[in-house]
Structure 1
Amino acid sequence: MDALASRSADDEVALRVGIVSSMPVGLVVGRGIVGVPTLGEAERERLITLVGPAVQSVLVPGPRAF
């Protein structure tokens, strides 16, 4: 049973890392490749301020809503 719980925890960590790593990729694509005007015009520090809490919420496990 412990091995199953450990694997589940490892899967959860891998999923969280995948989600977090896709967030800056999305910003880079939106700003530099697609050219979303609001992203391109935003200051880097403003984007960090807005995205930081979202990244933190994915990385730090909290109570499950389901």
Structure 2
Amino acid sequence: MKVIFKNKEYTLTQEAYIAGTNENKYYEAAAIDENGNKYIVVWNILDNYSPEDGDDEGWACDWEAPTNVYSI
């Protein structure tokens, strides 16, 4: 999967997984840019997402709109 953040394209190298603390959960996944530099892509969980109600993780975030990307 490819995502764009601040006009730069990143290719995910793993599936997103839940991270953070009980008070501040989010999803993240490793990614690379066109030059092979490594990054972590972060998505905030949507307010209306509720895994307790059986919601599918596909609805947990706006996967097309990451909230942050940082270099590792």
Task: Report if TM-score (shorter chain) is over 0.5.
Answer: no
Q: Which has the higher contact order (CA 8 A, sep 6+)?
A: 1
TM-score grouping bracket, smaller chain normalisation: under 0.3
Normalized per residue, which structure has more helix? Answer: 1
Normalised by the length of structure 1, the TM-score is 0.23
Considering only CA atoms, is the larger Rg found in Structure 1 or Structure 2?
1
Normalised by the length of structure 2, the TM-score is 0.22
